[in-house]
């Protein structure tokens, strides 16, 4: 396979600087990369010859000779993809990971990996055709599942029944003929936050992803931490109570069985059954079913039962976070994927639990915030994932 990547570690560092900080003058690049003038010129010449970097017009003059800006070449194009549990989300980015085009559509991942991936590639093909794109530089994929990173395959994923061990990376790479990397979606979103969100300002942070499949990405010392078998951050099935509700994984009392979207809907139905919520009962009567969006609407209009069940779900997550925050000592905790309308309520409850139950050293100045990237964190992070792979020393 041809490989559009750097030839050595200095070139890799220059590419990452241009990806993360945008166009730079030669002087700025040399300072940031810590390279001598001669080495810098030689490596940039190679990167330009490899069509990875190009000149981008004149830099602001510092007096004397005007120098030109350098940037990632216009031909560099990444795809960032997230699949499931309910939606395929496909984006094409430039070399600085700005989204150029994006398409989302509903998906039923229970049909299995082959039709889902075939449809994903079809969408990607349409976007590429619209943009007139040839070959992609790399493709990153986020899945709502534990992913064996080296193999690029989901492992026993409750949210993706029938996908266990399926080689997603190899299937996509065989079709596209470019580097492909696959990771857990919370990891991808953490990388998105690191690139373009609040996480940009922090070397150590936790990104907690709510939704159907709960997950946590850990960035430690500026690097995503996957652990020995790429299982780090798997908080979904930490058991909070042996007598608790049944979880999608088959066990009982997992965090996900208390705090996922499905758990909120289950509790909402119980509230209707018990006659505790007029707003939720109306929602159920209208459509014959309740969704997490109904729970959000009921909570926003002040329905006490809806608010109570949302706070309880957040409290459970807060208790898990107390342990994580004390163990990892992050600079910030970023929470994404909260159902529409519920973010502020959940955040308030999570903060209250974490601040009340943690010693001041770990949480004295710890911000806990909602993601400001929203739903672009996944695709930007998936693009970042594969760009980290492409912009690595061989
Ligand atoms: Zn579980």
Measured in Å, residue 258 CA sits from the centre of ligand 1 at 10
In this prediction the pTM is 0.94
Instruction: Return the pLDDT at 63.
Output: 56
**How many CA atoms lie less than 13 Å away from 106 in the CB half-sphere?**
1
Rounded Cα distance between 170 and 62, Å, is 49
Task: Using the mean position of ligand 1's atoms as its centre, give its distance from the Cα of residue 165 in Å.
Answer: 19
Question: Residue 281 above 60 pLDDT?
Answer: yes
Q: Contact at 8 Å (CB) between 382 and 81?
A: yes
- pLDDT > 70 in the chain, percent: 96
26 CA to centre of ligand 1 in angstroms: 52
Highest mean pLDDT (candidates 60-74, 188-202, 291-305): 188-202
Query: For the segment 97-140, what is each residue's pLDDT rounded down to a tens digit?
Result: 999 999 999 999 999 999 999 999 999 999 999 999 988 999 99
pLDDT digits (tens, 9 = 90+) for 44-60: 999 999 999 999 876 66
168 half-sphere exposure, CB direction, 13 A CA radius? 35
Taking the centre of ligand 1 as the mean of its atom positions, its distance from the CA of residue 212, in whole angstroms, is 12
Ligand 1 centroid – CA 93 distance (Å): 35
Give the contacts of 34 (CB within 8 A, at least 6 positions apart). Answer: none
How many angstroms separate the alpha carbon of residue 231 from the centre of ligand 1? 15
CA distance linking residue 34 with residue 27, whole number of Å: 10
Kindly state the average pLDDT of the residues 290-302: 92
Cβ atoms of 160 and 182 within 8 Å: the answer is no
From the CA of 316, how far away is ligand 1's center (Å)?
14
- Compute the distance from residue 157 Cα to the ligand 1 centre, in Å: 10
pLDDT for residue 72 is more than 50: yes
Q: Does position 61 have pLDDT exceeding 70, yes or no?
A: no
Model confidence pLDDT, tens digit, residues 346-358 = 999 999 999 988 8
DSSP states along 327-383: HH--SEEEEE-PPTTTHHHHHHHHHHHHHHHS-HHHHTT--EEE-SSGGGHHHHHHH
Give yes or no for residue 95 having a pLDDT over 80: yes
Question: What is the model's pLDDT at position 269?
Answer: 96
313-345 residue pLDDT tens: 999 999 999 999 999 999 999 999 988 889 999
Return mean pLDDT, the chain: 93
Mean pLDDT confidence for 143-171:
95
Q: Which of 3-12, 56-65, 212-221 has the lowest mean pLDDT?
A: 56-65
**Quick one: pLDDT at residue 57?**
73
- Pairing status of strand 24-25 against strand 53-58: unpaired
**255 alpha carbon – ligand 1 mean position (Å):** 7
Ligand 1 centroid – CA 219 distance (Å): 24
Confidence (pLDDT) at 1: 39
* Type and span of the H or E element at 319: helix 304-328
- Given a cut of 70, whether residue 65 has pLDDT beyond it is no
CA 244 – ligand 1 centroid, Å: 10
pLDDT confidence tier of residue 291, bands split at 50, 70 and 90:
very high
Range in 139-143, 298-302, 308-312 the model is least confident about: 298-302
- Place 149 in a pLDDT band, splitting at 50, 70 and 90: very high
Binned at pLDDT 50, 70 and 90, residue 66 comes out as: low
Residue 50, both tokens: 């490899």
Residue 381 C-alpha to ligand 1 middle, in angstroms? 26
Q: Report CA(332)–ligand 1 centroid distance (Å).
A: 26
Q: What percent of the chain has pLDDT over 90?
A: 87
Q: What is the pLDDT of residue 68?
A: 84
Q: What distance separates the 2 farthest-apart alpha carbons in the chain?
A: 78
SS3 98: coil
Question: Does pLDDT of 2 surpass 60?
Answer: no
Separation of CA 235 and ligand 1 centre (Å): 9
How far apart CA 295 and CA 2 sit, in angstroms, is 50
- Rounded to an integer, the average pLDDT of 156-163 is 92
How far is ligand 1, taken at its centre, from the CA of residue 44, in Å?
Answer: 50
């Amino acid at each position: 396979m041809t490989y559009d990547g750097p030839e050595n570690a200095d070139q890799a560092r220059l590419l990452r600087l241009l990806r993360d900080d945008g166009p730079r003058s030669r002087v700025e690049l040399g300072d940031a990369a810590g390279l001598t003038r001669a080495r810098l010129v030689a490596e940039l010449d190679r990167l330009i010859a490899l069509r990875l970097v190009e000149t981008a017009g004149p830099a602001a003059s510092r007096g004397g000779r005007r120098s030109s800006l350098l940037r990632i070449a216009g031909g560099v194009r990444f795809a960032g993809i997230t699949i499931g549990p309910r939606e395929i989300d496909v984006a094409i980015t430039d070399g600085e990971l700005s989204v150029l085009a994006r398409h989302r559509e509903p998906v039923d991942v229970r049909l299995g990996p082959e039709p889902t991936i075939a449809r994903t590639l079809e969408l990607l093909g349409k976007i590429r055709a619209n943009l007139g794109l040839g070959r992609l530089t790399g493709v990153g994929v986020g899945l709502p599942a534990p992913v064996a990173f080296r193999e690029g395959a989901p492992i026993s994923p409750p949210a993706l029944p029938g996908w266990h061990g399926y080689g997603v990376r190899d299937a996509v790479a065989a079709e596209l003929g470019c580097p492909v990397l696959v990771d857990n979606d919370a990891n991808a979103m953490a990388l998105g936050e690191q690139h373009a969100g609040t996480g940009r300002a922090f070397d150590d942070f936790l990104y907690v992803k709510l939704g159907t499949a709960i997950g946590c990405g850990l960035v430690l010392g500026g690097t995503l931490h996957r652990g020995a078998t790429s299982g780090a951050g798997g908080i979904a099935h930490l058991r909070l109570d042996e007598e608790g509700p049944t979880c999608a994984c088959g066990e009982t009392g997992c965090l996900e069985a208390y705090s996922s979207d499905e758990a909120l809907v289950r509790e909402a139905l119980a509230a209707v059954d018990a006659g505790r919520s007029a707003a939720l009962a109306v929602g159920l009567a209208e459509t014959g079913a309740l969704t997490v969006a109904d729970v959000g609407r009921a909570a926003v209009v002040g329905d006490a039962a809806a608010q109570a069940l949302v706070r309880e779900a957040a409290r459970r997550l807060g208790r898990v976070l107390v342990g994580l925050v004390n163990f990892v000592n992050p600079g910030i905790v970023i929470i994404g994927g909260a159902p529409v309308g519920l973010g502020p309520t959940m955040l308030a409850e999570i903060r209250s639990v974490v601040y009340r139950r943690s010693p001041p050293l770990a949480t004295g100045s710890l911000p806990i915030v909602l993601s400001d990237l929203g739903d672009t964190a996944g695709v930007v992070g998936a693009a970042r994932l594969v760009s980290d792979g492409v912009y690595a020393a061989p």
